[in-house]
Structure 1
Amino acid sequence: MSDTAPRFGMVAGEASGDLLGGLLLAGLRQRWPGLQAQGIGGPRMEQGGFESWWPHHKLSVFGYVDALMHLREILAIRKQLMGRLLADKPRAFIGIDAPDFNFVVEARLKAEGVKAIHFVCPSIWAWRGERVQKIRDSVDHVLCLFPFEPALLHEAGIAATYVGHPLADAIPLEPPRAASRAALGLGEGDTVVALLPGSRKSEVRYIAAPLLQAAALMQKARPALRFVLPVAPGLRALIEPLVPAGLEIQLLDGRSHEALAACDVTLVASGTATLEAALFKRPMVIAYRMHWLNWRRISGQRYQPWVGLPNVLAREFLVPELLQDECTPEALAAEGLAWLDEPERYARVQARFVEQHELLRRNTAQVATDAIAQVIGL
Structure 2
Amino acid sequence: MNASQRRFAMVAGEASGDLLAGRMLDGFHSRWPDVQAIGIGGPQMVARGFQTWWPQEKLAVRGYIEVLRHYPEIASIRRQLKARVLHERPDVFIGVDAPDFNLGLEADLRAAGIRTVHFVCPSIWAWRPGRIENIRAAADHVLCIFPFEPELLASHGVAGSYVGHPLAQVIPMEPDRAAARAKLGLSTQAPVVALLPGSRRSELRYIAPRFLDAARLMRKTEPHLQLVLPTLPTLIDEARQMIGAAGLEGQVHLIEGRSHEVLAACDVTLIASGTATLEAALFKRPMVIAYNMNYLTWRLMLTKQLQPWVGLPNILCRDFVVPELIQNEATPEALARSTLDWLRSPAKVSNLTQRFTALHEELLRDTPTLCADAIEKVLAS
TM-score, with structure 1 as normaliser: 0.98
Following the alignment from structure 1 to structure 2, what is the Cα–Cα distance between the partners of residues 54 and 241? 28
Structure 2 partner of 1:319:
322
In structure 1, what is the equivalent of residue 274 of structure 2?
271
The separation in 2 between residues aligned to 1:209 and 1:148, in whole angstroms, is 37
Paired letter, 1:214: A
Question: Post-superposition shift, 1:55?
Answer: 1.3
Which residue number in structure 2 is paired with residue 353 of structure 1? Answer: 356
Match of 1:253 in 2: 256
Give the C-alpha shift of residue 139 in structure 1. Answer: 0.7
Deviations 1:95-125 (A, max 9, x none): 0001111111111111111110000010101
Q: 2:301 aligns with which of 282, 298, 302?
A: 298
> Is it true that 1:179 corresponds to 2:174 in the alignment?
no
1:116 aligns to what SS in structure 2? strand
Aligned to 1:193: 193
The one-letter amino acid paired with 1:347 is S
Summarize the alignment of residues 16-27 of structure 1 with structure 2, pairs less than 5 Å apart. 16-27=16-27
Please report how far the alpha carbon of residue 3 of structure 1 lies from its aligned counterpart in structure 2 after TM superposition.
Answer: 4.2
| Matched residue SS, 1:235 | helix
Residue matched to 1:122: 122
* Mapped partners of 1:127, 1:71: distance in 2: 23
The corresponding residue for 1:167 is 167
- Write the distance in 2 (CA, Å) between the matches of 1:73 and 1:301: 27
CA distance, structure 2, for counterparts of residue 322 and residue 149 of structure 1: 27
Equivalent residue for 2:150? 150
Q: 1:245, CA displacement in angstroms?
A: 1.2
Runs of 4+, deviation exceeding 6 Å: none
Partners in 2 of 1:200 and 1:3 — Cα distance? 38
- In the alignment, the residues of structure 1 paired with residue 188 and residue 234 of structure 2 have an alpha-carbon distance, to the nearest angstrom, of 31
Number of the residue aligned with 2:98:
98
Deviates more, 1:122-131 or 1:228-237: 228-237
> Which residue number in structure 1 is paired with residue 83 of structure 2?
83
Please state how far the C-alpha of 1:246 moved relative to its aligned partner. 4.0
**Equivalent in the alignment of 1:330:** 333
Q: Which amino acid aligns with 1:350?
A: T
Return the alpha-carbon distance in structure 2 between the equivalents of residues 373 and 173 of structure 1.
30
Tell me, what secondary structure is at the counterpart of 1:252?
strand
CA displacement 1:137-170 (0-9 Å, x = unmatched): 1110000111111111110000001111000000
Within 1, Cα distance between the matches of 2:62 and 2:123?
A: 15
Name 1:368's counterpart in structure 2. Answer: 371
RMSD: 1.1
- Aligned residues, how many? 377
The CA distance in 2 between the partners of 1:190 and 1:182, in whole Å, is: 13
Distance across 2 between alignment mates of 1:239 and 1:321: 23
Contact 2:104 2:134 in 1 (8 A): no
Measured in 2, the distance between the counterparts of 1:343 and 1:42 equals: 38
Structure 2 residue 310 is the aligned partner of structure 1 residue 307: yes
Indicate conservation of the 8 Å contact 2:4/2:31, yes or no: no
Q: Residue type matched to 1:170 in 2?
A: V
CA distance in 2 between partners of 1:232 and 1:305 (Å):
31
In structure 2, what is the equivalent of residue 53 of structure 1? Answer: 53
The aligned amino acid for 1:358 is: E
Look up the SS of the partner of 1:4 in the other structure: helix
Question: Which amino acid is the alignment partner of residue 247 of structure 2?
Answer: A
After TM superposition, give the deviation of residue 238 of structure 1 in Å.
2.1
- Distance change >3 Å, CA 246–CA 120, structure 1 → 2: closer
User: Where in structure 1 are there 5+ consecutive unaligned residues?
Assistant: none
CA distance in 1 between counterparts of 2:331 and 2:366 reads: 39
Shift of 1:4: 3.2
CA-CA distance at 1:340 after TM superposition: 0.8
1: distance between equivalents of 2:31 and 2:107? 27
TM-score, reference length from structure 2: 0.97
**Cα displacement (A) at 1:241:** 2.1
**Distance of 2:196 and 2:53 partners within structure 1:** 29
Q: Give the letter for the 1:179 counterpart.
A: A
- Flag structure 2 segments of 5+ consecutive residues without an equivalent: none
